[in-house]
Structure 1
């Protein structure tokens, strides 16, 4: 931190959004423009999404469908959004933004209007789309199910997409969203949570997938690789520990086959595309790792409860 106080204090922070726990994406060619997934304390109803301009200090609600969700069963809503729904800029056009509920949505005018470019890409099992909770019913939408949990557009060619859902389906479109195919790995257990799809920058048809089933008391890692865009998959669990869940997976952009996986207790690394894995040690704590990014020679780590870390 460059703060005079060591830690970054509240007084040194700005507040571009009003929600809690959602994803934040910054426009690649204009860092003043930020989109905030503002589910929680934000106004705006289901799939609350905000657009913030640092220059003008203006905050706008740009919801895909501003429907009140509190107290409603997911099956009764027009669209379903998870608490942390995916938001992404197109790697080919910084004016194009994607957001995902149970469908994929796209805007090319900063959220003034949204196009639906996919059908429902989940199992949409109505038996799992009722109100949740026990004696006290969940009214916040935190437990909404059957929605897209990860989204990726090919960095090699625009209009090629992959999605994974929180109820265990993987889909792809190769024609800018006109048609979609179910490419779920045949041996992936039902109801797995698809946590991350990573498209290799080294080979256009190589993709990596990580999933988890810890909410079903199944702590096995679920790591896959495809070299044909998802038509065929093979496991890359290798010697990854059997009871260590797999969340996010990333490939090094300069070294093909160098993989990193964020788990419940830290980071695992493979130098041979998943045949063998080793845990990164040093002074990194035992902590859940929810996201990884690689910038130049730095591995940037987002943890649950222990801040950001950078491995140089």
Structure 2
């Protein structure tokens, strides 16, 4: 049966289109719908209402799009305190809860949770290391005002890069950050435990590229890391079976010259 596919394109927004069509010439440009602008990244489709699409672009811009009406609404979390500033990754992760389609999670320096499709938000504590990147060396040297290309492509540092909620246990949430924290909450985000120290021989501040909660065993999850920003091109893939209390390196024979950005659990054979 035909279905719709949604995704983001660099510098070309976010789009959705059919997998097939009754038109004998096939899918054409006019079959595609633009659902967001800017640099398109993550998209999520409401499992109860496939006309409701979430799309985002750079620096945390988040929108809820209605396919039928063409209406787009900005739902990015904003602080109540005008002195506070939230930080968002260039491509901030968004996740619809597998337990309640009205509940969505969005990653910044805090994890934001909405129970009403983005109309209102709750914020966790800051889940990052909260360090000042101006004090971090670049190629062994501290940056100054004369440093060329300083922070190019990274508007903010210290933010969430990946989020996963267990399909088996509501409120069991994993979150990874660009500055090397790996956080676990077992009560819906009220309390968190940073388990990065449980990951054996993981260099400090290594970017967490993906964390995925298992659909087969409640305490099992997988995590991948990217160290190339620190001239580390090893493949880092880990697995936990005890809610993050210990991690096993399952990188096995993956080539050392390639980093790992994504991991997925097989839907029938874990």
TM-score normalised by L of structure 1: 0.70
Gaps of 5+ in 2: 1-18, 136-142
**Is 1:182 paired with 2:182?**
no
**Is 1:55 paired with 2:68?**
yes
Query: Which deviations, in whole Å up to 9, do the C-alpha atoms of 1:207-258 show, x marking residues without a partner?
Result: 11111111222110011011101100111111221222111011102112xx
CA distance in structure 1 between the aligned counterparts of 2:39 and 2:207, rounded to whole angstroms: 21
Partner-residue secondary structure (3-state), 2:234: strand
2:51 aligned to which of 26, 29, 32? 32
Greater Cα shift, 3-12 or 106-115: 3-12
CA distance in structure 1 between the aligned counterparts of 2:259 and 2:150, rounded to whole angstroms: 29
Q: Aligned residue for 2:180? A: 168
Partner-residue secondary structure (3-state), 2:133: helix
**Is 1:144 paired with 2:151?**
no
Partner-residue secondary structure (3-state), 1:163: strand
Distance 1:133 1:221, change over 3 A: farther
Matches within 5 A, 1:155-234: 155-184=167-196, 185-234=199-248
Residue 65 of structure 1, CA deviation: 1.4
Distance 1:212 1:177, change over 3 A: same
Q: Aligned residue for 1:262? A: none
Residue 165 of structure 1, CA deviation: 0.5
Residue 137 of structure 1, CA deviation: 7.1
**Is 1:119 paired with 2:131?**
no
Gaps of 5+ in 1: 40-45, 68-75, 257-312
CA distance in structure 1 between the aligned counterparts of 2:30 and 2:157, rounded to whole angstroms: 37
Greater Cα shift, 233-242 or 120-129: 120-129
Residue 135 of structure 1, CA deviation: 5.1
TM-score normalised by L of structure 2: 0.80
2:117 aligned to which of 102, 110, 127? 110
CA distance in structure 2 between the aligned counterparts of 1:201 and 1:164, rounded to whole angstroms: 19
1:84 aligned to which of 65, 84, 91? 91
Quote the RMSD (CA, aligned, Å): 2.7
Distance 1:128 1:153, change over 3 A: farther
Paired residues of 1:51 and 1:61 also in contact (CA < 8 A): yes
Paired residues of 2:79 and 2:86 also in contact (CA < 8 A): no
CA distance in structure 2 between the aligned counterparts of 1:131 and 1:195, rounded to whole angstroms: 28
Higher relative contact order (CA 8 A, sep 6+): 2
Q: Aligned residue for 1:293? A: none
2:264 aligned to which of 236, 250, 258? 250
Partner-residue secondary structure (3-state), 1:204: coil
Distance 1:128 1:204, change over 3 A: farther
Distance 1:223 1:136, change over 3 A: closer
CA distance in structure 1 between the aligned counterparts of 2:107 and 2:236, rounded to whole angstroms: 23
User: How many residues of Structure 1 are paired with residues of Structure 2 in the alignment?
Assistant: 240
Distance 1:62 1:120, change over 3 A: same
